[in-house]
């Protein structure tokens, strides 16, 4: 029989250990009865579904390193959250004013809330300037990593050399952060990428068991598109590409690559929307070899080539991607 003293000691140390790695969210939204939110881990590319009942929800997980999360509302607007081991945070908002939602309980999230509220009505160039100024002044803050991703990496026109420069400052200030080290390695490769050049050799198996590679992309115009089932913009881009392929039969070839944690998530969405596009999803998310080979850096991302594999454009937003394809085909 286990001594009560030893049992108490074991439970005490177990509880203390959990408190060091546990991260918890308590959410409360006025004027919201029942809903579903998605919670995305940007480092892992993983997705959790949160049920909201009577305007409230909770979420708890264990973390070994600081992570950036995105809470996706039903209208597809996003709320960034800095998840730090050992912290409990409170999210408070109103369904009719989601942009004014606050996140409290940690200094990082309170600073991020203040930044969001301050820049809500600013023009994009002013927001980018504010973000760069904050990163340079507070490189040791977890918020710096979020601002770097949001305004310099996943921007409509990403500035990879600038992002690499700022990430180097963050890495120097946060030498033990695994997420920062991974981002730094990605940006080191991406900063050398140019719109011109030749598509790197790659080979992968799609979710239907068919091999896809450079030889798959021999149409007049070809597109490789990086997407995920939790990112609305990337889904919209994929639907647009599917329609363009229908409008120009035989002239446009597409390969999609999903960073979802499982092939089923993307397969369900593609089946629902009748998308006839080969999709690669190996479950390795950002660690997928094919993503590294092609230098795809954020969601959504894309590469446009001609029939010889010459890169004609890359990292275009949806409007510019459609314009480029139609220009090339017409």
pTM for the full predicted model: 0.66
Residue pLDDT, tens place only, 160-171: 889 999 999 999
What is residue 19's predicted lDDT score, i.e. its pLDDT? 58
Residue 192: pLDDT band (50, 70, 90) is low
Confidence of residue 276 (pLDDT cuts 50, 70, 90): confident
With a cut of 70, say whether residue 14 has pLDDT above it.
no
User: Strand, coil or helix: what is 221?
Assistant: strand
- Most confident range (mean pLDDT) of 15-19, 152-156, 287-291, 321-325 is 321-325
| Confidence at residue 316, expressed as pLDDT on a 0 to 100 scale | 86
CB 174 within 8 A of CB 180: yes
In DSSP notation, 16-83 reads: HHHHHHEEEEEEEEET--EEEEEEEETTTTEEEEEEEETTEEEEEEE-SS-EEEEEEPTTS-EEEEEE
At 113 the pLDDT is: 94
Q: Are strands 46-53 and 203-205 parallel, antiparallel or unpaired?
A: unpaired
- The phi-psi region of residue 45 (left if phi > 0; otherwise alpha if psi is between -120 and 50; otherwise beta) is left
Give me the chain's average pLDDT, please.
86
Give the residue-averaged pLDDT of 200-214: 90
Task: Return the structure tokens found at 321.
Answer: 């991607």
Q: With a cut of 50, say whether residue 9 has pLDDT above it.
A: no
Angle (CA) 206 212 216, round 5°: 140
**Percentage of residues of the chain with pLDDT beyond 70:** 91
Give residue 119's pLDDT.
93
pLDDT at 83: 93
**Cβ atoms within 10 Å of 75's Cβ, excluding its own:** 8
Secondary structure (DSSP) of 144-158: HHHHHIIIIISSSS-
As given in the structure block, the two tokens for residue 86 are 């050992």
């Amino acid at each position: 029989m286990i001594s009560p003293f030893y049992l108490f000691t074991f439970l005490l140390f177990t509880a203390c250990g959990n408190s060091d790695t546990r991260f918890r969210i308590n959410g409360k939204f006025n004027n919201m009865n029942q809903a579903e939110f998605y919670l995305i881990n940007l480092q892992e590319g993983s997705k959790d579904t949160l049920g909201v009942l009577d305007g409230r929800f909770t979420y708890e997980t264990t973390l070994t390193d600081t992570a950036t999360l995105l809470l996706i509302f039903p209208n597809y607007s996003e709320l960034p959250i800095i998840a730090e081991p050992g912290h409990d945070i409170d999210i408070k908002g109103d369904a009719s004013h989601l942009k004014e939602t606050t996140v409290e309980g940690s200094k990082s999230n309170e600073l991020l809330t203040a930044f969001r509220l301050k820049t809500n009505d600013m023009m994009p160039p002013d927001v980018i300037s504010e973000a760069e100024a904050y990163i340079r002044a507070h490189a040791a803050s977890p918020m710096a990593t979020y601002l770097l991703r949001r305004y310099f990496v996943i921007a409509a026109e990403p500035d990879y050399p600038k992002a690499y420069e700022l990430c180097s400052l963050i890495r120097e200030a946060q030498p033990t952060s695994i997420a920062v080290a991974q981002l730094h390695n990605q940006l080191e490769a991406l900063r050398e990428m140019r719109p011109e050049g030749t598509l790197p050799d790659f080979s992968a198996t799609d979710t239907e068991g068919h091999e896809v590679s450079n030889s798959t992309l021999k149409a007049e115009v070809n597109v490789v598109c990086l997407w995920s089932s939790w990112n609305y913009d990337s889904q919209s881009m994929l639907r647009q590409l599917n329609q363009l392929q229908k409008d120009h039969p035989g002239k446009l070839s597409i390969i999609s690559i999903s960073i979802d944690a499982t092939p089923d998530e993307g397969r369900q969405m593609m089946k629902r929307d009748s998308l006839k596009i080969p999709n690669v999803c190996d479950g390795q998310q950002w660690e997928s070899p094919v993503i590294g080979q092609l230098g795809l850096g954020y969601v959504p991302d894309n590469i446009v080539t001609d029939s010889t594999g010459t890169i004609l454009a890359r990292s275009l937003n949806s409007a510019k991607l459609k314009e480029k394809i139609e220009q090339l085909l017409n």
